[in-house]
Chains A and B, each alone.
Chain A
Amino acid sequence: MKFEVYLDSVTGKSKHLVELEKNGSSYKVSLDGQGVDADVILTTPNAVSVILNGAAFEFHIAPTPDGAYRLQTGPHEFHAEVRDPRSWLARKQRALEAEGRQQILAPMPGKVIRLLVKVGDEVEAGQGLIVVEAMKMQNEIRSPKKGKVERLQAKEGQPVNAGDILAWVD
């Protein structure tokens, strides 16, 4: 199986092509077109151990609200987006989503305390839409694009979880 991995860390962004081929109970791994000596296993429900040319790493992995992954190992952190190049349908949908209708997600769990717009309002990119309070701090959630507020899922006083859909902007 082939995957495109878009990595983002303090050193910047990079793109890698990873191929995993099941080989008995383990995998044959190739990275950017070259076979590598890598052993990869799942150690605990959210941790992956990789031994690459003898160097051992353990990554703790958690999903992020934007559908990517956050990987941690020791002091290092990576943001990784993984795509399967064969899945053209998924990519097409993603592209449509990015340019068209935007979902506004709650970045943290909290409570909606104020709606700054109404359904049907025209908004500018960067304009505040909703105020979410978490631990006595107020955070304004802004529109990622210029457009019209299509739907408002959030209600004032409503508790929300990270990743909950609050509104759509089209």
Chain B
Amino acid sequence: MFRKILIANRGEIAVRILRACREMGIPSVCVFSEVDRSSLHVRLADEAYFIGPAPSRESYLRIDKLIDVARRSGSNAIHPGYGFLAENPALPRACADAGITFIGPSAETMETMGSKIAGKQLARRSDVPTVPGTDDPIENPNDVQSLARAMGYPVVLKAVAGGGGKGMRVVPNDEAFSACWRDASSEALNAFGDSRVFLEKYLEAPRHIEIQILADSHGRVVSLGERECSVQRRHQKVIEEAPSTIMTPDLRRKMGEAAVRLARAGGYVNAGTVEFLVDARLNFYFLEVNTRLQVEHPVTEQVTGLDLVKLQIAIAAGHRLPFAWETITPRGHAMEVRLYAEDPDNNFFPCPGKIVARRIATGPGIRLDEGVYRGWTVPLEYDPLLSKLIAWGNSREETIARLRRALDEYTISGIRTNVSLFRRILAEPEFLAGEIHTKWLDQLLARPRPPLVPPGPGTQAAAAIAAAYWASIQPGGAANGPSPAAEPSRWKLEGRRSQLDRQP
């Protein structure tokens, strides 16, 4: 097993990983930028090293500094977490050069499986269904149009170099084709300096369902079942759950086998996620592979009882996976919400700042993975993810009830959070019925918001009393009046008297 593990990340995921290290008895080494000196991962770490200024390209993205810290601290493994360098093949390569174990797949696997086009080609070779379309960019619009006709509308044009919806156009019918082609290629040229686009069949209202896999270095690959992440805002996952409401044992087996086949074909080792789109007729299509631990991994942990981070470390240390089966049936239901420091009433504007007070949610079926505490200032330089609130229960209904209860318990003051968004989603009849797809939340947010549950007259009266009481105990009488708690200071009295003297 490893002597020491360097955690090349920050925030809640750094805390999550160091907890796994501690449970395994492995000392953890954390790194921090200028603004993270007081962050929770540094407070909990066994060792912590400063790696530079706040901007991540000068700190958390500096491979040279990370390798240097690993050497100085005597760490012989690096866990990248998610984000930052987690999917950058340069990090495993630098680790290999320095004789350090990278906790994740090899650089070569990252390159073949992580890229959208290479991943799709691998999926075709390993008989994993992909969204029908062209593998390669097509230069001639006439060729593309005849292909689109053959495939049947609607189709979607996507920039080869694309991402984030730029250079992407849904073509509803043949008449609209040439205008969409022009828009997509010129937008791609402007955004990425590369006008090439490729063509795919457009799936209406698909679900995003992904399969968590684990693969050891001895050739064993297992599927830990699915997570459904269809609730997304502008392609960002907002709520994740397992199992999916549309899953059948047969579909789970088929999707699990496809994911395992793909991982085998790519020589994948460690934890990974194979993402699929699933249409209304339960056809599934390969989307991409995430060659790392996912933000939403706790959902799988709660329904399988496994600790994915500890298994990642064990796999990297060359251990065999301790299971006999290849697919697992989840027990109960789990759901995660991502609490961000952003204001849902103000177009999800980020709201970093100081957390002046906090009450956490606990109790049956509740897990809180976070990197925040009372008195900490959320830095504005990084992703504003505060906490992941995870609930689990015997059924989806019980899980949702627990999540609602926990959201009412969990209070953060001083900064705004997106908690009201989850209250709204968790009350939507369509969500409760499991009738969701990847566009569902964007459509919901475009609809007028239902009126908020008004506070009762008792709540209002109690709020007035609480506010007055609070003002009365503020030092210096923040209520624009004298404080009753203490004798007014003689300095203040003297100051007031001299001020009064000056009044005519």
Q: Is this pair of chains taken from one and the same complex? A: yes
In the bound complex, how far is the Cα of B474 from the Cα of A82, in angstroms? 12
Residues of B within 8 A of A72 (CB): 411, 413
Q: Mark B153-164, 1 if CB is under 8 A from A, else 0.
A: 000000000000
In the bound complex, how far is the Cα of B423 from the Cα of A72, in angstroms? 15
A118 at interface, CB cutoff 8 A = no
Residues of A within 8 A of B480 (CB): 82-84, 87, 90-91, 94
Are A10 and B455 also in contact (CB < 8 A) when A1-B472, A31-B464, A78-B467 are? yes
Are A134 and B466 also in contact (CB < 8 A) when A60-B413, A84-B481 are? no
Q: Is the CB of A1 within 8 A of B484?
A: yes
Residues of A within 8 A of B330 (CB): none
Residues of A within 8 A of B350 (CB): 108, 134-135, 137
Which residues 175-202 in B have Cβ within 8 Å of A in the complex?
none
Q: Is the CB of B472 within 8 A of A3?
A: yes
Q: Is the CB of B413 within 8 A of A46?
A: yes
Which residues 45-93 in B have Cβ within 8 Å of A in the complex?
none
Residues of B within 8 A of A16 (CB): 461, 464
The contact size tier of chain B is: 35 or more
In the bound complex, how far is the Cα of B451 from the Cα of A74, in angstroms? 16
Q: Which residue of A lies closest to B375 (CB)?
A: A45
A33 at interface, CB cutoff 8 A = no
Residues of B within 8 A of A80 (CB): 463-464, 467
Chain B at the A interface: mostly helix, strand, loop or mixed?
Answer: mixed
B138 at interface, CB cutoff 8 A = no
Q: Is the CB of A20 within 8 A of B459?
A: no
Q: Is the CB of A62 within 8 A of B464?
A: no
Residues of A within 8 A of B499 (CB): 89
Q: Which residue of B lies closest to A12 (CB)?
A: B454
Residues of A within 8 A of B412 (CB): 60
B: residues with CB less than 8 A from A are 349-353, 356-357, 359, 377, 380-381, 384, 407-408, 411-414, 420, 423, 451-455, 458-473, 477-482, 484, 499
- Besides A1-B481, A18-B467, 11 other A-B contacts (C-beta < 8 A): A9-B455, A11-B454, A18-B464, A20-B472, A29-B465, A48-B470, A61-B357, A63-B478, A76-B453, A87-B480, A109-B380
A: residues with CB less than 8 A from B are 1, 3, 5, 7, 9-11, 14, 16, 18, 20, 22, 27, 29, 31, 36, 38, 40, 42, 44-48, 50, 52-53, 55, 57-63, 69-76, 78, 80, 82-84, 86-87, 89-91, 94, 108-111, 134-135, 137, 139, 161-162
Chain A to chain B: the 9 pairs with minimum beta-carbon distance, closest first: A84-B481, A46-B357, A90-B480, A135-B350, A18-B468, A80-B467, A62-B413, A16-B464, A82-B471
